[in-house]
Amino acid sequence: MRRLSLISIVVAAAAVGALFADTVSDVLRADLARERKRISSDASQLADIGRRLEAASAELTTASRAVAELAARADASPEEISRREDAVATAEQEVRTLLDRRRLVVERMIERRRNVALLEAELRGKRPVSTTDLLSGRWNVSIEPGEQRGVFRVSLEGTLVSGDYSIEGGFTGSLRGTLIGDRLRLERVDSQLGFTTIYYGRLARDGSQIAGTWESTTFGVGAAGAGRWRAQPVKEEEPEASP
């Protein structure tokens, strides 16, 4: 009878393990499909930014040439030169803004492709499994632009990440995602706004920090749609930073 009980426990544990493995595989496949779709979207966005950058650069060249030609004229007024120079400054700012956006999209695409490779390796079972959990715990987070601060509380189980957060401005909610190798992907689900943000990060080998980029899944008027973020672990004796 006792032997049968032990067998039943082993069988039940194996069934639970198989169910968990299936759940992990489903999550990883869903992440893989989303990442591939977003790579295609990023490629389209990068092409659009490239076209706009070419137009803005041409406008900057034209505006700069107009100032030089006007300044060479003896009858040019200071007011007119100043007005044309303002047009140069406006065009220059547009070029800088587009270059920053382009850089963020390229960085994001590189990170996505790395994630795709890691997800594929994980699904094939060819990635060595680490037994060291450097992620679980509390993290003080800084989000740019705007230097917005908050606290992430996360827990790692296998490759799956779950947790919650509080961010300046009264934002709270849950976190879900994956950690494969040192690559972290987190989805932020706000308690009022829903699924708002995806964070991509790289966990330092010694667990001293996470750094990466983020992108918004919603497009509010005047709000940044992407940026960078950084996190450092909260030491046990250290109180949480008040968001």
Round to whole Å and give the CA distance between 127 and 120. Answer: 9
141 and 229, same domain (yes or no): yes
Query: In the structure, what pLDDT confidence band is assigned to residue 51 with cuts at 50, 70 and 90?
Result: very high
Residue 193 has pLDDT above 60, yes or no: yes
Is 30 inside any structural domain? Answer: no
Weakest mean pLDDT among 72-81, 86-95, 115-124, 184-193: 115-124
- Do residues 86 and 146 both lie within one domain? no
pTM score of the predicted model: 0.59
- Amino acid identity of residue 238, one-letter, is E
- In a domain? residue 60: yes
pLDDT at residue 37, as a whole number: 87
**Do 115 and 188 lie in a common domain?**
no
Q: Report the Cα–Cα distance between both ends of the chain, in Å, rounded.
A: 57
- Least confidently predicted of 47-51, 107-111, 204-208: 107-111
Q: Taken in order 72, 78, 79, 84, is the CA torsion positive or negative? A: positive
Tokens 């070029």 -> residue: 95
The three-state (H, E, C) secondary structure of the chain, written as one string: CHHHHHHHHHHHHHHHHHHHHHHHHHHHHHHHHHHHHHHHHHHHHHHHHHHHHHHHHHHHHHHHHHHHHHHCCCCCCHHHHHHHHHHHHHHHHHHHHHHHHHHHHHHHHHHHHHHHHHHHHHHHCCCCCCCCCCCCEEEEEEEECCCEEEEEEEEEECCEEEEEEEECCCEEEEEEEEEECCEEEEEEEECCCEEEEEEEEEECCCCCCEEEEEEECCCCCCCCCEEEEEEEECCCCCCCCCC
Q: 13 lies in a domain?
A: no
Q: Residue 121: count other Cβ atoms within 10 Å of its Cβ.
A: 14
Q: Does any domain span residue 132?
A: no
- Given 124, 150, 165, which residue is the final one in a domain? 124
**Residue 213 falls within a domain, yes or no?**
yes
Query: Tens digits of per-residue pLDDT, 168-180?
Result: 989 999 999 999 8
85-99, 165-179, 192-206, 209-223: which range is least confident on average? 209-223
Same domain, 167 and 218: yes
Task: Give yes or no: residues 157 and 212 share one domain.
Answer: yes
- Which of 99, 124, 149 corresponds to the end of one domain? 124
Burial of 53 (0-12, 13-18, 19+ CB in 10 A): middle
Distance CA(46)–CA(36), nearest Å, equals: 15
| 151 and 90 part of one domain | no
CB 28 within 8 A of CB 77: no
In which domain, by residue range, is 218 found? 137-233
* 46 and 71, same domain (yes or no): yes
Indicate whether 181 and 95 sit together in one domain: no
CATH code of the domain containing 155: 2.40.128.120
Q: Please tell me whether residues 142 and 107 are part of one structural domain.
A: no
Last residue of a domain, one of 78, 98, 124: 124
Please indicate, yes or no, if residue 4 is contained in any of the structural domains: no
Number of folded domains that form the chain: 2
> Does the residue 218 lie in any domain?
yes
Tell me: do 41 and 118 sit in the same domain: yes
Give me the pLDDT at residue 243, please: 56
Tell me: pLDDT of 130 over 70. Answer: no
Residue 59 in domain: yes
Whether residues 92 and 149 fall in one domain: no
141 with 115, same domain: the answer is no
- Whether the per-residue pLDDT at 241 is higher than 90: the answer is no
